[in-house]
Amino acid sequence: MNERPVIQLEKISKSYGTFKVLSDVDLSVAAGEVLAIIGSSGSGKSTLLRCINYLEPPDTGIVTVGDTRLDGEIPPTRQQLYALRKNIGMVFQSFNLFPHMSVLRNVSLAQERTLGRSRKEADAISLDFLNRVGLAEKAHEYPARCSGGQQQRIAIARALALGPNVMLFDEPTSALDPELGLEVLAVMRELAESGMTMIVVTHEMSFAGNVSDHVMFMADGKVVEYGNSKEVLGNPQTPRAKRFLRAVNER
């Protein structure tokens, strides 16, 4: 149990101009663990995820993912950024599939570009992952012929096909109708059960409660509560978290 965490953030801070978006955020995720991040809009959840793979470099603090350790005060080299991002798959609210390419091409392209796989090799791997998210039969369709839930599952297959050690999800179901969200959550649950290390920003409290090991509640760029998911969701300690959870549960 004394294994090193797979993801560790130490005192991460980030400002946009004079506006402090993140203040001294600490976070640690062990191998195979699922962390849900909750909190109202504007609390810094997306910025925090983007700091983990340096889509937004933090101003100060240390990001460690696997063997890559970056200090926010020292600009990373290209090799360091590559090493960091190689470990991390990311899925956003918007799926960002190319409309003029088949589903298969969409999943294969990043593998060819970033890992140098041949088209044949990439396509075989893509089919495996499309199969895993239940969409092998859509491989030769265009994304427009797929529902939003299917498109998000394709985006998940695309990320997984790059072989990440950790997956970051930023509100993956919030653009979807509830039923289509469920099929995406089912894929994410399977991924969690297969042992993937995951951080999921979500408003889906049943996913947070049933699938995640820990829950972190953020407000104003700070970690307000963190703990066992059932405890944080069932017995929040701060007025801020109580108010947020009451509002979410009354929807």
Closest-CA residue to 21 (of 240, 218, 168, 225): 218
- Tell me if 229 contacts Mg ion by CB under 5 A: no
For residues 46 and 197, which CB has a smaller minimum distance to Mg ion in the complex?
46
The least distance separating ligand ADP from the CB of residue 9, rounded to whole angstroms, comes to: 14
Q: Which residues bind ligand ADP (CB under 6 A)?
A: 16, 21, 39, 41-47
Distance separating alpha carbons of residues 245 and 119, to the nearest angstrom: 47
Closer CB to ligand ADP, residue 44 or residue 89? Answer: 44
Cβ distance to Mg ion smaller for residue 66 or 89: 89
Kindly tell me which of 21 and 185 has the beta carbon lying closer to ligand ADP. Answer: 21
- Give alpha helix (H) positions in the chain: 45-52, 78-86, 103-115, 119-132, 148-160, 178-193, 205-210, 229-234, 239-249
Q: Is 43 in the site for Mg ion (CB under 5 A)?
A: no
At closest approach, how far in Å is the CB of 168 from Mg ion? 12
| The two structure tokens encoding residue 57 | 């470099």
Task: Decide if residue 46 touches Mg ion (CB under 5 A).
Answer: yes
* Residue 133 to residue 116: CA distance in whole angstroms: 24
Binding site for Mg ion (CB under 5 A): 46
